[in-house]
Structures are given as C-alpha cells and as structure tokens.
C-alpha cells in the first residue's frame, strides 16, 4: 500500500509517498498562503486551487492520503478553518488536519533526534514562514521548548529587500530583529540541527563549506559545518550572491528562494542563542514523525 502524506505550510507545501518502508519525495509547490492571507484577510482562491491540484496529484499516486496544515491554518478563526477543511474534503476527498505547534514540533524533533548517539545537548530549530520552534534535547528526550509565532515571512515588511537580487539592508540589524521576536531557550547546546525546510538544498547550492558529519551517523544528516564558518559565509550569501542565480536551481519553483536569506539569519540567531559550536543542515520535517505515528497506530505497515 502506498500512503500519500502532505505538509501544507505557510509558503511551501511538501508531498511524499510512503510504501515498502521507503519515503519518496514529490517535488514541492510554492504557495504563499500567509503572505496572501495577510494582504487579503482570507485564504485566496488561487492558493486554494494550487493546493487542491497538489493534493489530487498525490492522491492519484497513493492508496490513501493524509494532509496536515501548519502555522497559517492555526491562525484562522474557527469558522474559516472549518470551512477550509470542508472545502478540501469536498474538492479532493482528503481529510485536512491542522497540527498544533506543539505537535508539529514533536513530530519534527523526533525525526531529527531518533537514534542519534550523542551525549551532549542538541538543539533543533524548525524554521517556517509563520513560526519558529526551538527544542533542546538530550538522550532522545526534549528538555525544553521555545515556540514563537514568528517566522521568515514576518521579516519581509521591515526588510523589504530580502528577496531582491542583492540585499542592501544591514544583516546584523535583521539578526537582532529576529532575536527580539523569538522566545529564547534557557538551556544551551553544542549542536544545532536545522529542520522544517530543505536546508541541504540551500547550503549545497550556495556552496557553504560543508563537511561530512563525523560526530554521529544519520543518513538524513550527512553534513556539518562549524558555527563560525557558517556565520562568516552567511555574510557572503546575504550580500554577494545574486538570488536570481539561486533560483535557477529550482526552475519549477523559483520563489522557494524568497525566504532563504531570512532563514539563514534565523539559523544564525538561534545558533547564537544556544551557543552552538556545530550546525547540521537537514531536510527533516514533521513527515518523519508522522510516519512513525501512523505505524504505531497500525494505519500503515
């Protein structure tokens, strides 16, 4: 049996097909739900059309499909949320579940730290368009959580140049702005895992000085970079790299890069907060934890 699983985010929606104990990724789709919701006060029809088509596409490839909405859908009033869920069901036949920030965090963190053999604290940052979750973990357990209803999209109004070919604003001012708006964890961690988006795509395409992860083995976490090296290269990415050149790496979804400068600055901010020595970019999201949950409830093999 093939199971379709879709995460509908504030700016990017990601689909997967799980079968025969393998997870296959479907090309993501860029739908700027939060940006358009903020401008119009509602989920706009064009965004609905895009996500409905995406759900139907994945449903045709699977025997059953599960669809999960994140931060933007948590922000809807109860009536709007209920109407949207009903519309998804009517048009696509799929059940749409809005996941709480706590559950999203638990799913993603589990996917990031499960099976890791490391004695010290590990921080996990889940970066998104409308929220940021930070967890401090040790021995596969979450010790502290700091969730903020503040994400990449929330930086665009104050720093309107972030998606231009070249940024002209002051990167340090952006980092300070992010730190001011994020809840700060009390505990520190040697390692910061970046999750919730495809950080590997960003870092490899931008040619960050990545090394093989020799601290622990996890095939989902093949790379590592020292915090200071990453911070130094951030400045190069922020000021010197033409974002239009990066968009060529995702010709079907060039807008995926719109939040990349801001997301790198979120990573810098959180690394400073937890005093991380090493940064591990991943493409881990809550899908990995959802699969384990579905397995445990005997919904999938």
User: β-strands 278-281, 223-226: how paired?
Assistant: antiparallel
Q: What pLDDT score does 197 carry? A: 86
Q: Which domains does the chain possess? A: 3-99 (3.30.420.40), 116-281 (3.30.420.150)
Q: What pLDDT score does 75 carry? A: 86
Enter the tokens of residue 126.
């889940």
Q: What's the pTM? A: 0.84
Instruction: Round to whole Å and give the CA distance between 20 and 284.
Output: 20
Phi/psi at 40 (nearest 5 deg)? -115, -10
Q: For 189-236, how does the pLDDT look when each residue is reduced to its tens digit (9 = 90+)?
A: 999 999 988 999 999 999 999 999 999 999 999 999 999 999 999 999
Closest by Cα among 172, 125, 178 to 156: 178
Q: How confident is the model at residue 12 (pLDDT cuts 50, 70, 90)?
A: confident
Q: How confident is the model at residue 300 (pLDDT cuts 50, 70, 90)?
A: low
Instruction: Please indicate whether residue 266 or residue 297 has the higher confidence score (pLDDT).
Output: 266
């Amino acid at each position: 049996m093939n199971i379709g699983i879709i995460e509908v985010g504030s700016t990017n929606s990601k689909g997967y097909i799980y079968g025969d104990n393998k997870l296959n990724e479907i090309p993501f789709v860029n739908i700027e739900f939060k940006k358009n919701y903020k401008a119009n006060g509602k989920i706009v029809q064009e965004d609905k059309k895009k996500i409905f088509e995406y759900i139907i596409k994945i449903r045709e490839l699977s025997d059953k499909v599960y669809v999960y909405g994140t931060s933007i859908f948590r922000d809807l009033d109860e009536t709007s949320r209920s109407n949207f869920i009903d519309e998804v069901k009517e048009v696509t036949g799929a059940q749409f579940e809005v996941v709480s920030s706590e559950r999203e965090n638990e799913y993603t963190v589990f996917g990031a730290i499960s099976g890791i053999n490391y004695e010290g604290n590990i921080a996990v940052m889940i970066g998104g368009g409308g929220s940021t979750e930070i967890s401090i973990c040790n021995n596969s357990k979450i010790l502290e959580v700091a969730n903020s209803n503040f994400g990449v999209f929330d930086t665009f109004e104050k720093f309107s140049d972030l998606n231009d070919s070249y940024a002209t604003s002051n990167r340090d001012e952006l980092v300070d702005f992010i730190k001011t708006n994020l809840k700060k964890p009390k505990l520190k961690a040697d390692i910061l895992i970046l999750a919730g988006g495809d950080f590997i795509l960003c870092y490899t395409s931008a040619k960050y000085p990545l090394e093989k992860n020799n601290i622990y083995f996890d095939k989902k976490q093949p790379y590592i970079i020292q915090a200071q090296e990453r911070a130094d290269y951030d400045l190069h990415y922020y000021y010197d790299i033409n974002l239009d050149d990066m968009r060529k790496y995702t010709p079907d979804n060039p807008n995926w890069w719109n939040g990349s400068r801001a997301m790198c600055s979120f990573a810098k901010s959180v690394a400073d907060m937890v005093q991380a020595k090493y940064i591990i970019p991943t493409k881990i999201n809550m899908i990995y934890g959802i699969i384990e949950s579905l397995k445990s409830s005997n919904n999938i093999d």
